[in-house]
Amino acid sequence: MKRALDGFYAFMDEPLYLGSRPILFLLMVPLVIGLVQPLWHIEMSAPQYPKGLSLQVYSYTLVGGHGGADIKEINILNHYIGMQKLERSMFTELDWMPFGFGALGLLLVRVAALGNVRALVDLAVLIAYFGGFSLFRFGHKMWAYGHDLSPDAPIQVAPFMPAIWGHKQIGNFATHAYPGTGTYWLTVFAVGVLLVAAYHLVLGRLRARRAAAATGGSEPAAS
């Protein structure tokens, strides 16, 4: 067992296979595209809004439909039920998300050019953590918007969780939320790095087992 672990740890310090490096460089493409495409779409429809209202969430800003006018309409509706205004300044996550993804991109280039297996695994863990944390923050922000309602609102409604993915009926408004193209591109980036890392880990584990078997397998018993 010890020989197998020693072999695995030694493999972690080996350079990446040459075939993996161009793949990692290419994964910069979906990362860059994802940062400039909408990450999430939220659409609302009601009889008094036959054309509907929409909101797109980017990694750095919020954009309302119909030339930005929909944000104003959504805020008017939110006022009646006591919800806070949808303003870019309220979404502090959008201040650091571009820098976070940019840092991941720089690390990706460094790993592809100079890194070893250990650096690739570290990058994959950072990507998984950053992606999971970003999704959690988005969900928490939506939860807070639906639960932090003003008690003095003209229309009293029970606290609710706005639609994050899928359909939800709130009063006479039907809300539909779904990931944008940016989220799909960033998923390609994240899954690509994780698959390359998993490939190296599986291969390294197999090589460590073969090396241990070739040298006799287990440690000799202590006298």
- The predicted-structure confidence for 187-201, as pLDDT tens digits, reads as follows 999 999 999 999 888
pLDDT at 70 exceeding the cut of 80: yes
Determine the pLDDT at residue 202: 83
Highest mean pLDDT among 63-72, 100-109, 142-151, 209-218: 100-109
Judge whether 127 and 194 are in contact, CB under 8 Å.
yes
Residue 76's alpha-carbon distances to 73, 81, 109, 202, 207, in angstroms, are 5, 9, 45, 55, 63
Task: Answer whether residue 13 is part of any domain.
Answer: yes
The pLDDT of 127-146, averaged and rounded, is 90
**Number of folded domains in the chain?**
1
Contact in structure between 192 and 112 (CB atoms under 8 Å): no
> What's the pLDDT at 3?
62
Q: Is residue 190 part of a domain?
A: yes
pLDDT score at 159: 86
82: left (phi over 0), alpha (psi -120 to 50) or beta: left
Determine the pLDDT at residue 215: 67
Is residue 199 a part of any domain in this protein?
A: yes
| pLDDT class of 154 with cuts at 50, 70, 90 | confident
In a domain, 220, yes or no: no
Whether residue 110 is contained in a domain is answered as: yes
Task: Give the pLDDT score at 222.
Answer: 37
Rounded to an integer, the average pLDDT of 75-80 is: 85
- What is the reported pLDDT for 84? 85
Give me the domain span that covers residue 124: 2-214
So what's the pLDDT on residue 9? 66
With 50 as the cut, is the pLDDT of residue 221 above it? no
163 belongs to a structural domain: yes
Residue 219 pLDDT class (50, 70, 90 cuts) = very low
Please tell me the pTM assigned to this model.
0.83
Distance (Å, rounded) from C-alpha 180 to C-alpha 197?
26
The CA distance from 95 to 100, in Å, is 10
| Mean pLDDT computed over every residue of the chain | 86
Question: Which pLDDT band holds residue 216 (cuts at 50, 70, 90)?
Answer: low
What average pLDDT score do residues 97-122 get? 93
Whether residue 219 is contained in a domain is answered as no
Is 94 domain-assigned? yes
